[in-house]
Structure 1
Amino acid sequence: MHGTVARRGHFKGHGEWSDASGILMAVEITTRCRDTNQRCRIDKPLGYAAVGIPVYLLIDRDSLTLTVFSEPEEGRYQRSPSYSWGSTVELPSPLNMPLDTDLLRQYAG
């Protein structure tokens, strides 16, 4: 599963495709697919960083963690701290807000 957080009105009039300039954060929840490791933990962080998406939030159901990738530079995220489900995570700029992950514990397993 995946989603995005974008600036208000960013997608208006763009049709099916839009550039990444108005995207503030991409969000991914891992699946039980055999290619999850490659796709979610390797390919997507590289792809999102390459187009300059400021934050990539990976909700990892295998390890019960959240990883916040941020500070894209030269096609790679410079920071990627991980947190246990249940933590309050401070989302970095441009979001600058806390994210309470306590409810994720309900979905473990």
Structure 2
Amino acid sequence: MTSERPQMFPSQFETIAEAAERHDVTFEFVTGKLRVKPMPDGDHAEIVMWLIECCMTQRPDLRLHPGRRVLLSGDCRTKPDAVLAHRRAFAAQGEWSDPAEVLMAVEVTSHDPHANRCDREEKPVAYAKAGIPVFLLVDREAGAVTVFSEPGGGRYGSVVTLTHGHTVEVPEPVNVTLDTEVLKEFVR
């Protein structure tokens, strides 16, 4: 299996992913590889809700959509923990969202080492290649938040990591300030 010869075709993946959702299993297709996305635990859900509150308070013109599927490229289909977009950006779209509408993709790590490696290594490349302006990674294992921005050439030009407890400035086009002290409650 290589990027020239993926495990399956994207259309095959979409059929499998749709069937799996009915059984509370989430699959992603990242760089031609099938990935199982762990079901979120309560702490994970609380972090996503905290981010929704932060975004709604500071940027009421935007919406943070949990679990919206994104069609990144020919060999990449992801279901970020959340995506930030302008209000009504996904109206009249099917289940797979256009990455051009996404201002920020958000991933919160789980307790699965394979999924965490994907969140830390593969998804920043995939989101940068798709031109998503900001990727926010809440890394519970590391106790840190990483903001990837300035996509270009298949990577993010700016990568800033701060441990929980610091104030994190999420740059344009998001323009949100996150007081991450609360995240210390969700590291186990």
**The TM-score by the shorter chain falls in which range?**
over 0.9
Q: Which residue of 2 aligns with 1:69?
A: 148
In 1, Cα distance between equivalents of 2:126 and 2:84: 16
2:82 aligned with 1:3:
yes
In 2, Cα distance between equivalents of 1:80 and 1:19: 24
2:159 to 80, 89, 93: 80
In 2, Cα distance between equivalents of 1:26 and 1:57: 6
Deviates more, 1:96-105 or 1:73-82: 96-105
Tell me the number of residue pairs that the alignment of Structure 1 and Structure 2 aligns.
Answer: 109
In 1, Cα distance between equivalents of 2:142 and 2:108: 12
2:110 aligned with 1:31:
yes
1:47 to 105, 114, 126: 126
In 1, Cα distance between equivalents of 2:114 and 2:185: 25
TM-score norm. by structure 2 comes to 0.56
Deviation, structure 1 residue 100: 1.2
Structure 1 or 2, whichever has the larger Rg, is 2
User: Larger % of helix: which?
Assistant: 2
Alignment check: 8 A CA contact 2:110 2:116 kept: no
The one-letter amino acid of 2:165's match is: G
**Structure with more contact order per residue of length (Cα contacts < 8 Å, sep ≥ 6):** 1
Q: Which residue of 1 aligns with 2:95?
A: 16
- After superposing on structure 2, the runs of 4+ consecutive aligned residues of structure 1 that deviate more than 2 Å are none
TM-score norm. by structure 1 comes to 0.94
- Measured on the aligned residues, the alpha-carbon RMSD in Å equals 1.1
Identity of aligned residues (%): 44
Identify unmatched segments of 5+ residues in structure 2. Answer: 1-39, 41-80
Deviation, structure 1 residue 44: 0.4
